[in-house]
């Protein structure tokens, strides 16, 4: 492919599945079940994913197909039967939508209490489209960036893309983050996220970044962009019509003296293998960006130490930094993807043993739970009891950070809420404090509602 013959972007969704020629090779029954799953779970992909990342000779097992196309097994049997019954005959769109909404609202659309505890307030009013969970970091969800070039089937923000406006985070005031920074000097980092902010045109993205760069106190010191674009549409960085404008904006962040971190989501090594992603990464490095790579570990996609070893080695070779292995959150079709924590720890450990020190920057397995970001730090036997060793990498109370605590070993536990305190303790050390934090947040919400 020459530099004058880059592909033009083409998106695919439920409305034009028939335009993906490769799907015609699949059995009609499989296509039917896929389309039904896509009624409930957000589906969007594009020609780069379809033509360059998916191995169509290995369907449905291919990990990139599992990663981007809703699978029949993602809907629990009872919900699938309910939807099938509602769709029988010639139902109205309203009847189908009602059934879909019933299923969606039962899939924990906003995990870790992010819709209540994370929403910041200024002068007694909630700030829509912002989140402030940890003292140092403010999250911005630009209204124009609440979609992606393709949707990951495991995405914990799937509710952003389902048309449920009451559940959607979307900042419509680009000046709101700077006003909030004025009132919160503890904030050093801003993460612009979504969705994916790099689906936005550069002029739209600039509306959110320029007010941050104009601040006289040089805060934030770090601007992060959370994006899957390197994996799903690397042409965004060198071939799109405003790619050069984007690079100028990113370079402006660096020359302002701030740290620019691209929080890149790579879920499988294949996403790092194309000439396009190599070119995109090189261009980002040229403007002074640091690329940090993170992903959840998910069954059917990357649940092997060999996959993670290869992914970390490839990231280092390209000049990126392995950053996080997450545990997939308890939302959406999480039962389809979930792995026992004991197996996750084994995969992480085996992969880590087989990379050099440059690849051992990665932290994990990490769970972004309601109280904070909890690291599974090991498995041990203490006084005859087998335990998981845990610690907070981030906490709603900073005093919790880096304090080791223990949970009873459970070979079936797959999420933090499944764990019980070890050594006969009734609760973990932070729980009483966490209850106080929740009570304070509830009081703030009640006051805001009354106002």
Q: What is the pLDDT of residues 384-418, one digit of tens each?
A: 999 999 999 999 999 999 999 999 999 999 999 99
Q: What pLDDT score was predicted for residue 446? A: 61
Distance CA(349)–CA(413), nearest Å, equals 18
- For the chain, list residues with pLDDT below 70: 1-4, 112, 165, 444-451
3-class SS of residue 411: coil
Distance CA(260)–CA(91), nearest Å, equals 50
**Residue found under tokens 């083409």:** 10
Beta bridge partners of 25: none
DSSP string across 247-302:
HHHHHHHHHTT-EEEEEEE--SGGGG-SHHHHHHHHHHHHTT-EEEEEEEE-TTTS
Distance CA(131)–CA(121), nearest Å, equals 10
3-class SS of residue 381: strand
Domain boundaries, the chain: 11-105
Alpha helices for 214-258 (secondary structure H):
229-232, 243-255
Q: What pLDDT score was predicted for residue 94? A: 80
Strands 404-408, 385-395: pairing kind: antiparallel
Q: Which residues contact 420 (CB under 8 A, 6 or more apart)?
A: 407, 408, 410
3-class SS of residue 346: helix
Per-residue pLDDT reduced to its tens digit, 358-383: 999 999 999 999 999 999 999 999 99
Beta bridge partners of 367: 374
> In 276-296, which positions are buried (b, 16+ CB within 10 angstroms) versus exposed (e)?
bbebbbebbeebebbbbbbbb
E strand or H helix that includes residue 448: helix 431-450
Cα dist. 14→34, 37, 236, 441 in Å?
10, 10, 23, 39
Beta bridge partners of 261: 224, 290
**Residue found under tokens 């992909």:** 45
Nearest Cα to Cα of residue 297 among 160, 377, 420, 415: 415
List the structure tokens of 72: 């029949």
Distance CA(290)–CA(100), nearest Å, equals 41
Nearest Cα to Cα of residue 331 among 18, 22, 113, 80: 113
CB 47 within 8 A of CB 234: no
Q: Is the dihedral of CA 272, 277, 278, 283 positive or negative?
A: negative
> In 79-94, which positions are buried (b, 16+ CB within 10 angstroms) versus exposed (e)?
bbeebeebbeeeeeee
**Residue found under tokens 């019933």:** 102
Strands 363-368, 137-140: pairing kind: unpaired
Round the CA-based radius of gyration of the chain to a whole number and report it: 22
Distance CA(225)–CA(284), nearest Å, equals 12
Q: What pLDDT score was predicted for residue 1? A: 46
Name the pTM for this structure.
0.93
Q: What is the dihedral of CA 153, 158, 160, 162, to 10 degrees?
A: 80
């Amino acid at each position: 492919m020459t530099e004058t013959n880059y592909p033009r972007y083409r998106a695919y969704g439920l409305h034009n599945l028939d335009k993906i020629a490769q799907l015609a090779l699949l059995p009609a029954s499989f296509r039917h079940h896929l389309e039904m799953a896509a009624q409930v779970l957000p589906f969007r992909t594009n020609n780069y994913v379809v033509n360059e990342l998916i191995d169509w000779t290995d369907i449905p097992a291919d990990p990139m197909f599992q990663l981007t196309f809703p699978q029949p097994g993602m809907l629990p049997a009872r919900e699938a039967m309910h939807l099938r019954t509602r769709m029988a005959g010639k139902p109205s769109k309203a009847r189908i939508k009602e059934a879909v909404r019933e299923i969606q609202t039962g899939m924990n659309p906003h995990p870790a209490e992010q819709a209540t505890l994370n929403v910041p307030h200024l002068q007694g009013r909630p700030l829509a489209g912002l989140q402030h969970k940890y003292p140092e970091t403010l999250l911005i969800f630009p209204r124009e960036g609440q979609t992606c070039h393709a949707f990951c089937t495991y995405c914990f923000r799937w509710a952003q893309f389902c048309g449920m406006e009451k559940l959607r985070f979307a900042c419509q005031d680009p000046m709101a983050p700077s006003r909030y920074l004025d009132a919160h000097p503890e904030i050093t980092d801003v993460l612009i996220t979504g969705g994916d902010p790099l689906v936005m045109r550069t002029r739209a993205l600039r509306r959110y970044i320029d007010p941050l760069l104009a601040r006289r106190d040089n805060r934030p010191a770090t601007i992060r962009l959370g994006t899957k674009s390197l994996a799903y549409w690397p042409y965004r960085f060198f071939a799109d019509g405003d790619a050069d404008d984007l690079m100028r904006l990113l370079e402006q962040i660096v020359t302002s003296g701030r740290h620019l971190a691209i929080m890149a989501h790579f879920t499988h090594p294949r996403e790092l293998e194309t000439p396009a992603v190599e070119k995109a990464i090189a261009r980002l490095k040229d403007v002074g960006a640091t690329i940090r790579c993170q992903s959840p570990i998910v069954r059917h996609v990357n649940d092997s130490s060999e996959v993670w070893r290869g992914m970390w080695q490839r990231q280092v070779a390209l000049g990126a930094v392995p950053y996080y292995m997450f545990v997939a959150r308890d939302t959406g079709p999480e039962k389809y993807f979930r792995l026992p924590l004991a197996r996750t720890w084994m995969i992480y450990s085996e992969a880590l043993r087989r990379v050099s020190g440059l690849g051992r920057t990665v932290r994990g397995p990490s769970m972004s739970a309601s109280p904070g970001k909890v690291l599974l730090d090991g498995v041990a036997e203490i006084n005859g009891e087998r335990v998981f060793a845990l610690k907070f990498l981030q906490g709603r109370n900073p005093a919790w950070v880096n304090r080791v605590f223990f949970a009873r070993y459970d070979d079936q536990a797959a999420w933090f809420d499944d764990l019980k305190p070890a050594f006969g303790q009734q609760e973990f050390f932070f729980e009483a404090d966490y209850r106080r934090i929740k009570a304070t947040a509830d009081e703030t919400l009640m006051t805001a509602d009354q106002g």
